[in-house]
Amino acid sequence: MSLTARDLLQKLSNDAGIPYQTIAKKVNRLMAQGMGLLESVRDIAIEHKLKASKYQIDAEKIVQEAEKILREDYTQTLMISAVLGQMVESRGKEKFPAPAFFAYIETLTRIPDAPRDTRSESSTEIEERTTRIIELMTTLVSVLCEWSEKGVIGVAKDCPPSLQDVARAVFRKTKLLQGGLWTCISCGNIVNVSETRALMCTTCDNSISKSDIHRRFDQMAGRNRTSYGKTVSEDNTD
């Protein structure tokens, strides 16, 4: 069973003997019309006389893999969070979709604190993990949530019971965002999106020193990690 949209599309491309790009374009078009990811893939499968039920994505396994990555190492998780936070705020092609970011925050709150190790991850390792998390989270929201051309409109019929709370949180936060509101990633208060700074409300932003990335992400999703204390070194060694 596939874990990411890319794997699933590749499988369909192989089975149907159609180039990946053609399949991807078709899926994008169907999803823009409000069809779900799995629905679109199965639609194309049937069109090519393939067994639709073969094309599944296991949402629970996606969450398990994401949790495994985020539990690996505390500093690495901070770096991933920082990159995703920047990407969700960016406006260009690099933009990380807000629903996927909300799913990330939900995943982060489900895991116990990651161990803080002394090993320093190479930037390549962190980049690889970040790319994987992006793929997992964008796939996850496309499976858990029901979509229309306007974006997330509810919880998908396919959503497993164990992940319905995640889907509901993503839906609720996305709806608020569409209405011009944002949920502060630190305190969880709902604020006007134009008043946020670095994904936080102005109160939280003011209370956290901009240079102190550790403390900043310690407070992400309202988690209290004060027991870890402050780190001494703040420089990013390559």
Stretch that binds Zn ion, among 6-14, 93-101, 173-181, 195-203 (CB under 5 A): 195-203
HSE of 113, CA atoms in CB hemisphere, 13 A: 13
| Gap between the Cα atoms of 72 and 125, Å rounded | 12
Q: Does 27 bind Zn ion (CB under 5 A)?
A: no
Tell me which of 139, 186, 196, 219 binds Zn ion, using CB under 5 A.
186
Which residues, including other chains, have CB under 8 Å from residue 214's CB and lie 6 or more apart? 78, 228, 230, 231, 234
Q: Which is nearer to Zn ion, 18 or 193 (CB)?
A: 193
SS3 category, 183: strand
Stretch that binds Zn ion, among 13-21, 40-48, 145-153, 183-191 (CB under 5 A): 183-191
| Gap between the Cα atoms of 136 and 150, Å rounded | 22
Q: Does 220 bind Zn ion (CB under 5 A)?
A: no
* Contact (Cβ atoms closer than 8 angstroms) between residue 173 and residue 160: no
Stretch that binds Zn ion, among 8-16, 148-156, 157-165, 179-187 (CB under 5 A): 179-187
Q: How far is the CB of 206 from Zn ion (least distance, A)?
A: 10
Q: Which is nearer to Zn ion, 26 or 216 (CB)?
A: 216
Tell me which of 57, 114, 155, 201 binds Zn ion, using CB under 5 A.
201
DSSP 65-112: HHHHHHHH-HHHHHHHHHHHHHHHH--STTPPPHHHHHHHHHHHHHSP
Q: How far is the CB of 154 from Zn ion (least distance, A)?
A: 27
Residue ranges binding Zn ion (CB under 5 A): 184, 186-187, 201, 204
